[in-house]
A and B are shown apart, each in its own frame.
Chain A
Amino acid sequence: MTLTANAAPPRGAAITARGLSKSFHGTTVLHPTDLHVPAGEILVLLGPSGCGKTTLLRLIAGLERPDGPDMLRFDGEDVSGVPLERRNVGMVFQSYALFPNMTVAENVAYGLKVRGMPAAERRAEAARLLALVGLDEHAGKRITAISGGQRQRCALARALAIKPRVLLLDEPLAALDAVLRERLRAEIGLLLREFGITAVYVTHDQAEAMAIGDRIAVMQAGRIAQIDRPEVIYHRPASDFVADFVGTMNRLAGPVREGRLILDGGETRADLPADGPDREATLCFRPEAARLCEGADEGAIRARITATTFFGATQRLLVEVAGQDLRLDLPSGLAFGPGQLAAFTIEGRALLEFPRTA
């Protein structure tokens, strides 16, 4: 195999998991999971700590062995028993795992050195990748002499240098401060798309997931709760858990009678459309789904404002309706104050209802 500079972008392998599961000492951390990541897709694994996202990533990497045979394939080839060093996957670790005994360029070239590429060639290849991530000026520096953001990009260049079949990123931005994190997540998203590589990206930060993922798999207690495009995850969450984990979600609970949920708290009042039989229901909606209206309108919510927070383009109102708290995002031009009454509506298609869990 020859590796040439400026070759056509390599396309990664498709990842297929079938009943992929993992237990440690009798505790199941990943329940049998089916997953297909087409070549070139960026899949984000999103969830709270302990949800199994890191285990799933480590299984794909080969850092953990699945519970059974033939549970994981790259482009149809069974890799379940292939150890990490022979799986040809690129990894970017949360702590970067850069080698302090080597320079930036030596780190990037290490994978090529292991593969027996001649020194001159691998130096050229490392230089090309360092230029790509904007680190060419730092090639000769020690790892300890560059900043956190530069280390992160060095780790990415090192992982890409080996032309991996799959790129795996384990919370790669978690160690950086907020400003740098926001800038780098845009850069990483662009870079990964430019490379056209299959990538699996683990994070607990939903903003990062939205910005980077072609699809997002929200994980909960060792299972994939929902896997879909970011906008579907946001607007059509499949469960209470997903709705809560991605973005902010309001809840109004009450009795549904003749197709409407009506709450009456005297001055404050809610009236929302709810299809189906009479029942106790919880209706959910996003803060930005609220639209101001006249208090007397049918289907209006009359709420008392408890606090307002200025966000710049928008403001967030904390309001109370019949004893239940809601958060509403409205344009910041409108003047509201605590204690006032406000009336708003929610469009029917922005209202969600999940099967009762408890």
Chain B
Amino acid sequence: MGRRWTTWTGIGLTALLVLFLTLPVLLSIVAGLSVNYARGLSNGLTLTWVLQVWELYADTILRSLIVAAATLALTLLIGVPGAYALVRRGGRTARLVEEVVTLPVAIPGLALVLGLIITYGGFGTFRQSTLFIAVGHVLFTLPFMLRAVMAVLETIDWRVLDEGAASLGAPAWRRFVDVILPNIREGILAGSLTVVTLSVGEFNLTWMTHTPTTKTLPVGLADAYASMRLEIASAYTLVFLVMIVPPLVGLQMVAGPRRERLGP
């Protein structure tokens, strides 16, 4: 028995859409691997450009990873206890704090960084350090961590869990570590995934905050697009993809198996 024509149309449209979105990526990869893109694939494939990118930009790749790790560490440190504190506190104050923290997402990155530079530009060492970039990323990614953790906190009965642990003699920090954290694991993982992805790909803020010695991968990409031949820029895209896809898949897998919820 054949499928209905609507099903076939749906499959066809989806395939076209996927092709439309992935074609540029695929062509970029091909360009990065071809000897001379202008002459097509007839000239053969090569890893020359990829190696050249590695020689030229290895430091930006490493820096991107360091910035992402630092951003993740800071958002975890601030975001997870912060989300719990906000949910515990509740009411208008909590909503106000949440709004203020979310503001950097709405404000254009350039304006945000300008504020940072005006305020901290005078602190030379800090201004020129990789940490300065990470701080910008934290401002921008923190609300995503907060929201993800708060969303999961809303679904668990954290107050009863906390009171239950307290009745058994656990002090506040232990209740948080032993009983709250394990039960909001999903939200923390989801938040981490978002934060790392945003941080690695972030360009707006970083373009303003970087110095010649503190370029991240996306800034390097812009640099390559502007000043190198097309094959090198494309090879750079390839390197970026190879770098970002495995950790994303890995994090998805860790966050994947959904845990059962305790019924009423």
Instruction: List residues of chain A with CB under 8 Å of any chain B CB.
Output: 61, 63, 83-86, 88-91, 93, 95-101, 110-111, 114-115, 142-144, 158-159, 162, 175
Contacts and interface: CB of A to CB of B under 8 A. Distances in A.
A96 B259 CA distance: 19
Given A98-B164, A99-B164, A175 B264 contact: yes
Contact of A114 (B157, B161, B168, B261): B168
A111 B170 CA distance: 7
Contacts of A85: 166-167, 169-172
B164 A101 contact: no
18 contacts: A61-B167, A88-B169, A89-B167, A91-B163, A91-B164, A93-B164, A95-B264, A96-B164, A97-B161, A97-B163, A99-B178, A99-B179, A100-B183, A100-B259, A111-B169, A111-B170, A144-B262, A175-B264
A175 B157 CA distance: 15
B174 interface: yes
A97 B169 contact: no
Contact of B182 (A88, A97, A101, A143): A101
Contacts of B263: 144
Given A63-B163, A88-B169, A100-B260, 15 more contacts: A84-B167, A85-B166, A85-B169, A85-B171, A90-B167, A93-B160, A96-B164, A97-B163, A97-B164, A98-B262, A101-B183, A110-B168, A110-B178, A111-B169, A144-B263
A271 B247 CA distance: 88
Nearest to B162: A97
Contacts of B260: 100, 142, 144
* 5 tightest Cβ-Cβ pairs between the two chains A and B: A97-B164, A111-B168, A101-B182, A91-B167, A97-B160
B165 interface: yes
A99 B170 contact: no
Interface residues of B, number: 24
B180 to A, nearest CB: 10
A61 B168 CA distance: 11
Interface in B132-172: 157, 160-161, 163-172
A175 B182 CA distance: 25
A85 B262 CA distance: 24
A100 B262 CA distance: 7
Given A114-B174, A144-B262, A99 B161 contact: yes
A96 B164 CA distance: 8
Given A110-B178, A144-B262, A95 B160 contact: yes
A162 B165 CA distance: 12
B165 A110 contact: yes
Nearest to B156: A100
A319 to B, nearest CB: 42
A88 B166 CA distance: 10
Nearest to A110: B168
B90 to A, nearest CB: 15
A175 to B, nearest CB: 7
Contact of A101 (B168, B174, B179): B179
A84 B160 CA distance: 13
Contacts of A97: 157, 160-161, 163-164, 167
A111 B175 CA distance: 11
B169 A115 contact: yes
A42 B179 CA distance: 30
Best-surrounded residue of A61, A83, A101, A162 (most CB of chain B within 10 A): A101
